[in-house]
Structure 1
């Protein structure tokens, strides 16, 4: 897949402050070291101490950036820019279209720039119960972040029930797409699967 450039997410990443860029580089270094160690010796055998040594930081620094080992696997470089990218979607665009565009862009960037990490992360989600459980926990944080932005765009309260259900349904669709892709050997295009899932969510399940 060709490299993606000049997208809304690129813009948000380019607007990070120097301090934010340094933090992002540290997170990326830790994450890449983690994947390398997991490839060499497996998930369970990889310790935070080993990750810290391979990243040339202290274990406390690893924990400062990632509360758990599972978070290192699940967190990617684009998380800090997602809310801002969603906030910049066209004002008249439907919430589903906006979320679809932002999530598809993140997947496309991952496929273009970090295909091996995306594949390894997905396989770990399928194979390691602790990673899958942590993903479910962290989805609540992501859901609140997205609900806050959509509340601004729609004039609803962030705790509006319909809004919470909507965001939860979209994120659950993304989770199931990820697991489905991993369970089928990470074959095919996950972006196409995402569009398929959201089309089904929008149109309803036909008997």
Structure 2
């Protein structure tokens, strides 16, 4: 079986299990649901769930984006200004993001945001995204991965995306995801020094 077809079948199976699991998490709470129950409701073995995801946390947080992120980052890093390249390719990808997928992301984020046990796993996921970015950026810049510019760029952007999701959730997902992501890139491109304290009130 061609590798691409095998990967697509694997991703489809994982998405089906995740969809079932999200429904269970919404109904009963993340902590109250077991891997065995997810497997039974998905009509697969518990060993299959473990083989696909490894942990219950990963069942919720998995989004199949690592390969996509690697491809987008590789394309973006061909731009003379990597941040501009990332902005271009990420916003283009979000232009084709189906509304149903965005709503499913919202459901997953609601669960993650109300489950303290998922906080560490969420941070670990963000770190994984930063590692993808740093490897691609280092290759394009022909610098070591440990280079300060590479590390700061990759981890600052990944951390900003984590902050973006906290903002999006805290505001009730009121804005379209693309608009929020666009604002993150604008903040970076304009420089973080645009975040300033309000002017003091005039003395009376």
TM-score, normalised with respect to structure 1: 0.83
Matches within 5 A, 1:170-189: 170-189=157-176
Give the drift of 1:110. 4.6
Give the drift of 1:64. 1.6
Q: Does 1:139 align with 2:114?
A: no
Residues paired across the two proteins, number: 193
Give the drift of 1:107. 4.8
Displaced runs of 4 or more, over 4 A: 105-111
Distance 1:130 1:176, change over 3 A: same
Which stretch has the larger CA shift, 133-142 or 170-179? 133-142
Is the CA contact (8 Å cut-off) linking 2:112 and 2:118 kept in structure 1?
Answer: yes
Deviations along 1:123-152, one digit per CA (max 9) or x if unpaired, are 123211222221101222221112111112
Matches within 5 A, 1:28-43: 28-43=15-30
Q: Unmatched 5+ residue regions in structure 1?
A: 1-14
Distance 1:167 1:31, change over 3 A: same
1:159 match: secondary structure: coil
Residue 45 of structure 2: aligned partner: 58
**Match of residue 92, structure 1, among 58, 76, 79:** 79
Distance 1:115 1:141, change over 3 A: closer
Deviations along 1:10-45, one digit per CA (max 9) or x if unpaired, are xxxxx9611111111111111111112122222222
Residue 150 of structure 2: aligned partner: 163
Distance 1:63 1:105, change over 3 A: farther
Is the CA contact (8 Å cut-off) linking 1:110 and 1:118 kept in structure 2?
Answer: no
**Match of residue 150, structure 1, among 130, 134, 137:** 137
Q: Whose radius of gyration is greater, 1 or 2?
A: 2
Which stretch has the larger CA shift, 49-58 or 98-107? 98-107
Relative contact order higher in (CA < 8 Å, ≥ 6 apart): 1
1:205 match: secondary structure: helix
Give the drift of 1:102. 4.2
Distance in 1 between the 2:151 and 2:85 partners?
A: 16
Distance in 1 between the 2:156 and 2:57 partners?
A: 23
Q: Unmatched 5+ residue regions in structure 2?
A: 197-204
